[in-house]
Amino acid sequence: MSDRLTTPAELDQPIAPAWSTRALLDRFGMLLILPLLLAAGGIVSPAFISADNLSNLLLQFAPLAIVAMGQALVMIVRGLDLSVASMMATAAVIATGFSGSDRDVATIFAVALAVAVMIGLLNGFLVTKRQVSPFLATLATMILLQGFRFAYTQGAPSGNVPPLLRVFGAGKFHGIPYNVLVLVALAIILAIVLHRSTFGRRIFIVGGNPVTGRLFGIQSDLIIIACYLISACLAAVGGLILSGYVGLVDNWVGQGYELDSIVACVVGQVSLQGGRGSILGALTGAAIIVIIANEVLLLGVPIQVQLIIKGAVIVIAAALYARKDN
């Protein structure tokens, strides 16, 4: 690879500007799949493209997308965060842990984020300072949270979600869900942080190669810990929003989101090997998953078949990207 000759012919090639068609296609090409999916959905079942359904789609999209963005950061630094779903459920349990009135919303956010910070730090600490594999470290914190949650709720959570949180989770403003507004704000901030800031550049350098990061004077450990921290916090926010959407709380709010968020990232071309990925990719991946699930539902296909389709989509999407990379 590195042995390839830089021939004079190669030098004569025009310098590709950042905005060339190919570069654009490389960066935004995967977005093209969304209108295709939407169109296909509309053809198969007209109800799909009704304004109502689309706005519901957005409602379901937001929590997964929020979690997937955090997952993307962790995956870029060669990690994996299996604790996100457990974190979401824990946040949801916290949401019902108070009086259920709007006065407590600020407290709920504060407590949930405080727990998320601890879990994120623990994940990051295990991965960096103790060199535990991310898979195991986050698996352990997942079980840890689960244990504490069960012990706290004695297996049967009760209590109500404050109305304000319900608005955030399920309410709409002229058809646009509030949770999407939250998502958009978070996405813009994260995209700037990841793709424009020095911190984001360091994430990519460390993710591509931690040794290089160290030689660049970057404190790789801090960068990695920060990514786990952000992921846990986003999971907490996602969990609160989801609890608002679901309305009632059990111990398993968010179940399956750990794998779904990883799948969303893989489908959105965030590399499992680290060093590659984007916020846009995570969002696209999450959108693809939600759209497919919704279309399948509308088709009246039994819920079982959804799983089969989801499984197939995961593998096929990953296979397509593998081909492209090679």
Residues 227-286 that bind another protein (CB under 8 A): 259, 262-263, 266, 272, 275-276
Beta-strand ranges (E) seen in 128-184 are 172-173, 176-177
Q: Per rule CB under 8 A, is residue 28 in the interface with another protein?
A: no
- Taking the CA atoms of residue 159, residue 143, residue 133 and residue 282 in that order, the dihedral angle to the nearest 10 degrees is -30
82 vs 75: CA distance, rounded Å: 11
**Selected range binding another protein among 162-170, 177-185, 235-243, 311-319, rule: CB under 8 A:** 311-319
Q: Per rule CB under 8 A, is residue 197 in the interface with another protein?
A: yes
**Least distance to another protein, CB of residue 171, Å:** 31
Among 5, 36, 51, 156, binds another protein (CB under 8 A): 5
Cα separations in angstroms, 232 against 70, 113, 241: 7, 8, 14
Among 37, 40, 49, 144, binds another protein (CB under 8 A): 144
**Least distance to another protein, CB of residue 255, Å:** 10
Radius of gyration in angstroms for the set of CA atoms belonging to the chain, rounded to a whole number: 21
Which of 149, 166 has the CB closer to another protein? 149
Kindly state the tokens that stand for 268: 């959105």
Which is nearest to 180 in space by CA: 66, 70, 282, 50?
Answer: 66
The Cα angle at residue 228 between residues 222 and 233, in degrees rounded to 5? 120
174 vs 156: CA distance, rounded Å: 36
Count other C-beta atoms under 10 Å from residue 107's C-beta: 14
Among 19, 131, 156, 324, binds another protein (CB under 8 A): 131
Tell me the residue length of the chain: 326
Q: Per rule CB under 8 A, is residue 324 in the interface with another protein?
A: no
**Least distance to another protein, CB of residue 323, Å:** 8
CA atoms within 13 A on the CB side of 258: 19
**Selected range binding another protein among 10-18, 24-32, 89-97, 234-242, rule: CB under 8 A:** 10-18
For residue 176, list its beta bridge partners: 173
**Within 202-231, which residues bind another protein (CB under 8 A)?**
202, 204-205, 208-209, 211-212, 214-219
Name, in order, each residue with C-beta under 8 angstroms of 85's C-beta and a sequence gap of 6 or more: 142, 235, 254, 255, 256, 257, 258
Q: Per rule CB under 8 A, is residue 21 in the interface with another protein?
A: no
Among 35, 51, 130, 156, binds another protein (CB under 8 A): 130
Which of 163, 221 has the CB closer to another protein? 221
Which of 135, 173 has the CB closer to another protein? 135
**Within 77-96, which residues bind another protein (CB under 8 A)?**
82
Among 18, 36, 51, 156, binds another protein (CB under 8 A): 18
Among 44, 176, 188, 319, binds another protein (CB under 8 A): 319
Q: Per rule CB under 8 A, is residue 40 in the interface with another protein?
A: no
**Least distance to another protein, CB of residue 111, Å:** 19
**Least distance to another protein, CB of residue 44, Å:** 19
Which is nearest to 186 in space by CA: 226, 237, 136, 248?
Answer: 237
Residue pair 288/34 in contact by the 8 Å Cβ criterion:
yes
Q: Which residue has the tokens 């504490």?
A: 148
Which of 34, 318 has the CB closer to another protein? 318
